[in-house]
Structure 1
């Protein structure tokens, strides 16, 4: 059975190499602002889904929360498990499959971690898994790109060199997905990967989570939690599960 794009790409060492420039200081500050904004008490249970290699889960655990992270990538979870803290737990798991019921005060879906799937049914399954994981009155945080801003500012091509590895990247919008083709040259070796993320707006997310008892409370437009506008870089949604 052929792997889905996110299974092969996120499990590749080249993914981490390409994105190692990400501003972890900004990400940590965003998480701190966010947890203060939702008035989450220390010791509350947070699910980071998907969690990648756990770098943001670690920030939340260091702030005094009990954090569980799940991710489909075996490589990511193995790396995450190197963080040995009693309030930090990691599991290899597919977010489309239900794992928890009414266990978490907050579920975090951060840094564009939705819209990877080919079908609406899979998106609905992923959202159902998220919603069921939340306790009544629990909070869902979704951090996604702003569809309108991305469409206006999409850069069609890039050439990036990291150490001795060259990345040739092409981007396009096709069938309501933003598609990124990544060709890699590493000495004499060459590889091809892709990213393919659905273009989603607030109303799309609401159509996914409202049937599972969640209601939008607030939306923000960047990692400093400024108000959302049509030109904002991000779409950050705070939704609450009915009691």
Structure 2
């Protein structure tokens, strides 16, 4: 297997094109979700939050703005270098691999917007959950906000085209060996680019198995950003609260 496949996320997430393709993501919805989630978890005032796979730090920055002491970590050096301009005495960013425990404990560890299931090696997915557990203090909560794979597979749009900043992105989506795959191809300045996103189509059942293996306790499962009950057929998200 080529290194390109094993580590697709290290190259794609490090390109400016990744951020161009997804720049219209809805911040309003994301902020409302952060408000709802932190209220629901009752995180103490100025409580500490680890944002795992924080990207360029947009959620970490908002969590900091509403009063929390936030550490954002991500594997992408480019993203972290960008995020560092926003640091203050209660907001910091660091390059870190989420399969390994971070050196601190927190009131909450958030893994948001399907930033899980990238690894080819199942052990790495399990290690990420173990790492989250070790990064929680005794009152802390872990949150994994994943897609509802069943719903996504049922509603997969095989092809579409997005034109953003004069770049025509051709997107193809399909299921292969338990991975939901998105092929992304485009031309810019006469150069052809091809990238691929691969996310393991984990179900709630799969997570329950991993949680058991990591010795963490699943407390709640929600199906959307307003924290409505999870329904395998109709929910868009799979949001799990554990400790």
1:72-111, aligned counterparts within 5 Å? Answer: 72-101=75-104, 103-111=105-113
User: How many aligned positions are there?
Assistant: 239
In structure 2, distance between residues paired with 1:164 and 1:71: 29
Describe the SS at the equivalent of 1:214. coil
Residue ranges of structure 1 left out of the alignment (5+ in a row): none
Residues 98, 131 of structure 2: 8 Å contact kept: yes
Aligned to 1:82, what secondary structure does the other structure show?
Answer: helix
| CA offsets 1:59-84 (integer angstroms, 9 cap, x no match) | 11111111111100011001110103
| 2:30 paired with 1:15 | no
Q: Does 1:161 align with 2:163?
A: yes
CA contact (8 A) 1:100 1:132 kept: no
Aligned residue for 1:208? 210
Q: Which residue of 2 aligns with 1:32?
A: 35
Deviations 1:91-112 (A, max 9, x none): 00111122225x1110000000
The aligned residue for residue 236 of structure 1 is 239
Looking at structure 1, the residues matched to 199 and 214 of structure 2 have their Cα atoms a distance apart, in angstroms, of 23
Q: Any conservation in 2 of the 1:10–1:73 contact (CA below 8 Å)? A: yes
Q: Does 1:182 align with 2:184?
A: yes
- The match for 1:67 is 70
Query: Which runs of structure 1 show a deviation greater than 4 angstroms over 4 or more consecutive aligned residues?
Result: none
Alignment map for 1:86-165 (pairs within 5 Å)? 86-101=89-104, 103-165=105-167
Tell me the TM-score normalized by structure 1: 0.95
Instruction: Tell me the SS of whatever aligns to 2:31.
Output: helix
Name the TM-score, length of structure 2 as normaliser: 0.95
- Which residue in 2 is equivalent to 1:48? 51
> Given that residues 105 and 135 in structure 1 are in contact (C-alpha distance below 8 angstroms), is that contact kept between their aligned partners in structure 2?
yes
Structure 2: tracts of 5 or more residues without a match: none
TM-aligned CA deviation for residue 237 of structure 1: 0.8
Aligned residues: CA RMSD: 1.3
